[in-house]
Structure 1
Amino acid sequence: MDAEAVRERAGELPREPGVYLFEGGDTVLYVGKAVDLCDRVRSYATPRSERVRRMVEAADGIDFAVTDTETQALLLEANLIKRHRPRYNVRLKDDKSYPLVQLTDHEFPRIEVTRDPDDGAMAFGPYTEKGRVETVVKALRSVYGVRGCSDHKYSGRDRPCLDHEMGLCTAPCTDEIDAASYGEDVESVVRFLEGETGALAEPLRREMEAAAESQAFERAAALRDRLDAVESFHEGGGEAVADRTEATVDVLGVATEGGSATVARLHSEDGKLVDRERHRVEREADQREASEVASGERQRPASGEDERRESSKSASGDGGAASGEADQREASEVASGETDVPAVLAAFVPQFYADRPLPDALLLPEPHGDEELARWLESEGVDVRVPGAGREAKLVELALKNARRRGGQADGAAALARRLGLDRPERIEGFDVSHAGGKAVVGSDVAFVDGAPEKRDYRRKKLTERNDDYANMRELVAWRARRSVEGRDDRPVPDLLCIDGGEGQLGAARDALAETGWDVPVVALAKDEELVVTADGVHDWDDDDPALHLLQRVRDEAHRFAVQYHGTVRDEVSTPLDEVPGVGPELRKRLLRRFGSVDGVRAATREELVDVEGVGDDTAAAIDRAL
């Protein structure tokens, strides 16, 4: 769509709250919410970034839905994003960092751990520990034989695969089990995932006891460990949710520093974690609140609360004075910049929920200490708890980790977004290549999420042996891009790629993206002068720029990971040192680590060689003769 088409369509939309959907053919490209649909959509006639411009150009239509309130628009937006998974809603990609378990919508459903469930699939979770989830899924397959293979592997078989031989699948692909029996097994799996632990624990316990009786002790021990994981799955180590008897639960965590704080909120509905967000509480806002409190202008967000408070004061006789003293005390605390956790909670809760629905339960790290707030929450039917142990305490701990994740640091991702004209890059992947004169060529692919390393998403790859940095980078980026485009990489699509190198490496990476059709922004960072290279040119950012600092962290980690892997691969490669008398595998490793390569060893003086542990005069002379 061009600017005129966007303006024309915007003129047809109502001036009411709701959601809008940019569509390209049968695909939803972007979902957004608006207080005024007409004004919000009209703003896309002049895109605010290159990514938005590409999205608008790819769209051929705009659909919409009207809601009664902005809050309803927010909830509808979230549901539509989950349903359609639009490619341009990049800010929500990190919400898939928790794994789910899905049973696909097939005649013979497939079970698998995923972060991106299929349309029509039954999804359970999210869960906090992927390793435990995988253990439980394997246990479910071993007991009930539900298939875990891809559709490609499943179709057209004339004999069962290895999973059937290992007891992990009942092989519906070759009619080893009928549909009715398979369906019963799937129902048992569903019962377990919905909370009936015994559906899996009891069969495992019987199998463990049978193995012990037959003196198969190693198998019994393995089954015992699997049983432990299963029995604790719904007790706090597995599902990242709160009590299923409460429809909505919010969990708050607070991280404080100086005169400001960060509040992280986890929100669950019907026992499933559906949202995570962080909010900054700045001292400037506290000063305004202090002024309001001191002047008696502060308002609570609940209708009728003022009347209840006034009647309470009248009944008590001295309630007004007590309330005034409390307000003055709170004003003093806020004005002085105090950001202790109870004060932050007491200020945050009424402000945040002023125009949002209250949850059924609110889990806090500490008591908020505000009696008026407590009365208001109680009158609204909110159960406030400060858990000390168990599953709820683990949820509070998770919220605290979210709050602390970026505490006290400049927001490099936001600065980077402003610098590059992008949406905030929540996920950045860094790439580097390491080799020794074209030998032992390897590449690294590291991931940063919200400014912090996500080491479980690190990948490394051996590359074609050649002394060509540009070709090596092109091969590395093309490998990552192709796996993502073909759906063979279970990691989320990054919001930005950071290449270790200059204009040549950036050009090679851009060639790889164009070749594979992977539409991801990319920049490069050259080491010597720390220049940022983009498609628009070379930029020299200030040394204290948080955007530069973030790129440097990603670049340096990619470099470290590549060099580490190169050292491992290099030590495995045959070199001329292998033929030198007196040089064994360990001494060869020490020489290569000291001098970097065989050429480095060749250029070393006799004195430098002797300085290496294990090298004497005779061995140094032998190395000289051989090289």
Structure 2
Amino acid sequence: MDPDLRKKAEKFPNRPGVYIFKDANGDPLYIGKAKNLRKRVLSYFNPNVPDKIKAMLKEAKQVDCVVVNSENEALLLEANMIFEEKPPYNTLLKETRVYPFIVIVDDTFPYLKLVREKSIAGEYFGPYSDIGFARELMDLSFKIFKIRSCSIRIDGGRRKVCLEYHLGRCSAPCAGKISREEYMKSIENLKRFLKGDIDEVLEKLRDDMKRMADLLEFEKAGAIRDMMNKILKLLKPQNIVLPDDRKMDVIHFEKGLGVVLKIRNGFMLGKMSYNFDGEISEFLEQLYCTGKLDTPDELIVNLDPSDPSARLLKNALGIFRIGPPKDEMENRILEMARMNWEEEFKMMEDVERTLRKLADLLRMDRTPRRIEGMDVSHTHGILTVSSVVVFEDGRPNKREYRRYRFDEIKVPNDFEVIKLTVQRRYSKHDVPDLLLIDGGIQQVRSALEGLKKAGKLCKVLGIVKGEEKLVDEFGNVFNLPMDDDVLRLLIHVRDEAHRFANTLHTKLRDRRLVISRLEEIPGIGKKRKKKLLEVFKSLNKIAESSVEEIKEVIGSEKLAKKIKEYLGKVVKDAG
């Protein structure tokens, strides 16, 4: 241990703040908070500290501190610094899966976006435990509030309206169809809706439906009725009957796993689960102080309200109440959280057994916590793409998925693409515990060549499609029963890599098909082709659109009719 560390700690003030132990490069090893910085940091030099602290002190070459005004400020600063720096000796909160958010992005005319992490400025709603639910909510938001989904800059110039306007999903602020004042009213209404206040929306839709019926616009009235039914179908099944509107989170935390039920205005909007190897107070700090979850008014959790950490968290975040259930209704919801925890914990144990079994099968010296799967997709060698998917503790981490294009390759050569993908990826990134390749021994050897070029080593395994047999780098073949949990996991990784590669390949192929078909129509230049592709995305969507919608994009009714007629025949012949 560096003796200068203690000397510096002795000079720390007796004030609240955050302390940072750093390595020789100045990178944080451990970050902590203290009511009294000097007293807390000096306690680390006690001979009876845990082994983890002793190991950290052996690496530490510097210790620094940030003085703040209060213990509350120290709590918030510590949580955010841990979230940003992710020091190796701090216990970090880890999501068991990636949860999506809906964000209203900051802009003169804000727009709506579905994201997997908080990386852009705006107001976030979620996270949502079900991506399908989040997408349905987005779709309803566009139809009801007509908020734009595009991110084009609106600077006062007028644009032509796009297809979204004609479909009734956007109020077209870019074309001056709505004032900013009216648009921002829609944004405020949307915020209330996303927070769970659906009564106001339903009342307005009922009035609109009645008005359309009175005007004998029965088709429009029917469309509004369908929208109302969709809202009720989407939200009502998740409704938990509460005596009044409540903004509360209900948490069961045990054995390093926390399950959070998120309830807003009487609706359960999501169930999230997180791994955290620490105390419940630290779990709550990282969960709320970093903004991973929005702060509720009430936090129902088996934590004594008089506990110093509970009081600190309550004061720092402005939570009205933290503590155990106070009535039968809250007991029922906490029991629901506990039952969900049991299911999550059972799945964790099953995955852990499967990963250990996989390690034993391949004679690995450690459990393959991180598995990356790779696949290649092309059409007779052209439009070649490869994909890499990431599984952590048996679950997909879609934030880290990547795709690679190889426009220079014009003939089928999967071996070369695998080698180049591996070389390109692992020249810049750390290798996983296990790299899974779609293919047999030749594909595995191509991956090993790529690793050699990148100057890296890791365990590589192939999975042969159809036969579903496993092949390692030594040529050993493993034939597992189809119901074997190890094989099922590896098939899942392989199929996910295949799906992810095919998604991009299909998009490139369809784009090429659209361009070639459009080039057959006289009068369509590069600019018009580009506009059609930007708006409609595919040949079928152009063919399904009306002449008026196509005209809005290209500016010519005569040419729009020609496109509609020609593509109608193409799609019909293809069908």
TM-score, structure 2 as length reference: 0.52
Structure 2 counterpart of 1:182, one-letter code:
Y
Q: 1:383 aligns with which of 326, 337, 350?
A: 326
Q: State the shift of 1:212 in Å.
A: 6.3
Q: State the shift of 1:495 in Å.
A: 7.6
Q: Residue 249 and residue 112 in structure 1: after superposition, are their counterparts in 2 closer, same or farther (change >3 A)?
A: same
Q: 2:460 aligns with which of 505, 524, 530?
A: 524
Q: Which residue of 2 aligns with 1:145?
A: 146
Q: Which residue of 2 aligns with 1:405?
A: 347
For 1:411 and 1:354, how far apart are their aligned partners in 2? 37
For 1:159 and 1:205, how far apart are their aligned partners in 2? 32
> Superposition pairs for residues 224-263 of structure 1, below 5 Å?
224-231=225-232, 235=236, 237=238, 245=246, 249-251=250-252
Q: Which residue of 1 aligns with 2:391?
A: 448
Whether the aligned pair in 2 keeps the contact of 1:443 and 1:476 (CA below 8 Å) is yes
Q: Name the SS of the counterpart of 2:103 in structure 1.
A: strand
Q: 2:435 aligns with which of 486, 494, 498?
A: 498
> Does structure 1 residue 265 correspond to structure 2 residue 259?
yes
For 2:75 and 2:342, how far apart are their aligned partners in 1? 24
> Superposition pairs for residues 47-62 of structure 1, below 5 Å?
none
Whether the aligned pair in 2 keeps the contact of 1:144 and 1:185 (CA below 8 Å) is yes
Q: Which residue of 1 aligns with 2:546?
A: none
Q: Which residue of 2 aligns with 1:625?
A: none
Q: Which residue of 2 aligns with 1:508?
A: 450
Q: 1:433 aligns with which of 376, 386, 390?
A: 376
Q: Name the SS of the counterpart of 1:134 in structure 2.
A: helix
Q: Residue 269 and residue 436 in structure 1: after superposition, are their counterparts in 2 closer, same or farther (change >3 A)?
A: closer
For 1:166 and 1:468, how far apart are their aligned partners in 2? 44
Whether the aligned pair in 2 keeps the contact of 1:21 and 1:64 (CA below 8 Å) is no
For 1:242 and 1:404, how far apart are their aligned partners in 2? 33
Q: 1:357 aligns with which of 310, 322, 327?
A: 310
Q: Which residue of 2 aligns with 1:598?
A: none
> Does structure 1 residue 172 correspond to structure 2 residue 173?
yes
Q: State the shift of 1:78 in Å.
A: 4.3
Q: Which residue of 1 aligns with 2:190?
A: 189
Q: Name the SS of the counterpart of 2:310 in structure 1.
A: coil
- Please, what is the CA RMSD of the aligned residues? 6.6
Whether the aligned pair in 2 keeps the contact of 1:444 and 1:562 (CA below 8 Å) is yes
For 1:20 and 1:98, how far apart are their aligned partners in 2? 30
Q: Residue 246 and residue 103 in structure 1: after superposition, are their counterparts in 2 closer, same or farther (change >3 A)?
A: closer
Q: State the shift of 1:268 in Å.
A: 5.8
> Does structure 1 residue 557 correspond to structure 2 residue 551?
no
Q: State the shift of 1:86 in Å.
A: 6.2
Q: State the shift of 1:524 in Å.
A: 2.8
Identity in percent: 20
Q: Residue 350 and residue 188 in structure 1: after superposition, are their counterparts in 2 closer, same or farther (change >3 A)?
A: closer
Q: Name the SS of the counterpart of 1:407 in structure 2.
A: helix
For 2:378 and 2:492, how far apart are their aligned partners in 1? 17
Number of residue pairs aligned between Structure 1 and Structure 2: 433
Q: State the shift of 1:565 in Å.
A: 10
Structure 2 counterpart of 1:469, one-letter code:
D
Q: Residue 543 and residue 384 in structure 1: after superposition, are their counterparts in 2 closer, same or farther (change >3 A)?
A: farther
Q: Which residue of 1 aligns with 2:416?
A: 471
Q: State the shift of 1:402 in Å.
A: 1.9
For 2:54 and 2:416, how far apart are their aligned partners in 1? 44
Where does structure 2 lack aligned partners over 5 or more consecutive residues?
35-39, 45-51, 278-300, 314-321, 438-442, 510-575
Structure 2 counterpart of 1:430, one-letter code:
G
For 1:224 and 1:478, how far apart are their aligned partners in 2? 55
Q: Which residue of 2 aligns with 1:98?
A: 99
Q: Residue 438 and residue 462 in structure 1: after superposition, are their counterparts in 2 closer, same or farther (change >3 A)?
A: same
Can you list the C-alpha shifts for 1:429-465, whole angstroms capped at 9, x where unaligned? 4113378996997756555353146899999999766
Whether the aligned pair in 2 keeps the contact of 1:91 and 1:424 (CA below 8 Å) is no
Q: State the shift of 1:180 in Å.
A: 1.9
* Greater radius of gyration (CA): 1
For 2:226 and 2:451, how far apart are their aligned partners in 1? 45
For 2:343 and 2:499, how far apart are their aligned partners in 1? 29
For 1:496 and 1:192, how far apart are their aligned partners in 2? 44
Whether the aligned pair in 2 keeps the contact of 1:94 and 1:449 (CA below 8 Å) is no
For 2:243 and 2:126, how far apart are their aligned partners in 1? 11
Q: Residue 557 and residue 278 in structure 1: after superposition, are their counterparts in 2 closer, same or farther (change >3 A)?
A: closer
Q: Which residue of 1 aligns with 2:133?
A: 132
> Superposition pairs for residues 112-127 of structure 1, below 5 Å?
112-118=113-119, 120-127=121-128
Q: Residue 222 and residue 12 in structure 1: after superposition, are their counterparts in 2 closer, same or farther (change >3 A)?
A: farther
Q: Residue 185 and residue 250 in structure 1: after superposition, are their counterparts in 2 closer, same or farther (change >3 A)?
A: same
Where does structure 1 lack aligned partners over 5 or more consecutive residues?
49-55, 255-260, 281-347, 361-378, 486-492, 515-519, 574-627
Q: Residue 559 and residue 117 in structure 1: after superposition, are their counterparts in 2 closer, same or farther (change >3 A)?
A: closer
Whether the aligned pair in 1 keeps the contact of 2:389 and 2:493 (CA below 8 Å) is yes
Q: Residue 435 and residue 159 in structure 1: after superposition, are their counterparts in 2 closer, same or farther (change >3 A)?
A: closer
Structure 2 counterpart of 1:357, one-letter code:
A
Q: Residue 73 and residue 262 in structure 1: after superposition, are their counterparts in 2 closer, same or farther (change >3 A)?
A: same
Q: State the shift of 1:557 in Å.
A: 3.2
Q: Residue 46 and residue 182 in structure 1: after superposition, are their counterparts in 2 closer, same or farther (change >3 A)?
A: farther
Q: State the shift of 1:20 in Å.
A: 4.1
Q: State the shift of 1:192 in Å.
A: 1.9
Structure 2 counterpart of 1:265, one-letter code:
V
Can you list the C-alpha shifts for 1:374-408, whole angstroms capped at 9, x where unaligned? xxxxx97642657798x878755543432222234
Can you list the C-alpha shifts for 1:122-145, whole angstroms capped at 9, x where unaligned? 222222332232222232223322
> Superposition pairs for residues 604-619 of structure 1, below 5 Å?
none
Q: Name the SS of the counterpart of 1:117 in structure 2.
A: coil
For 2:213 and 2:431, how far apart are their aligned partners in 1? 48
Whether the aligned pair in 1 keeps the contact of 2:101 and 2:124 (CA below 8 Å) is yes
TM-score, structure 1 as length reference: 0.48
Structure 2 counterpart of 1:195, one-letter code:
G
Q: Which residue of 1 aligns with 2:292?
A: none
Structure 1 counterpart of 2:135, one-letter code:
E
Q: Residue 467 and residue 62 in structure 1: after superposition, are their counterparts in 2 closer, same or farther (change >3 A)?
A: farther
For 2:457 and 2:220, how far apart are their aligned partners in 1? 50
For 1:98 and 1:242, how far apart are their aligned partners in 2? 29
Can you list the C-alpha shifts for 1:59-84, whole angstroms capped at 9, x where unaligned? x9966568999x997776545566x5
Q: Name the SS of the counterpart of 2:132 in structure 1.
A: helix
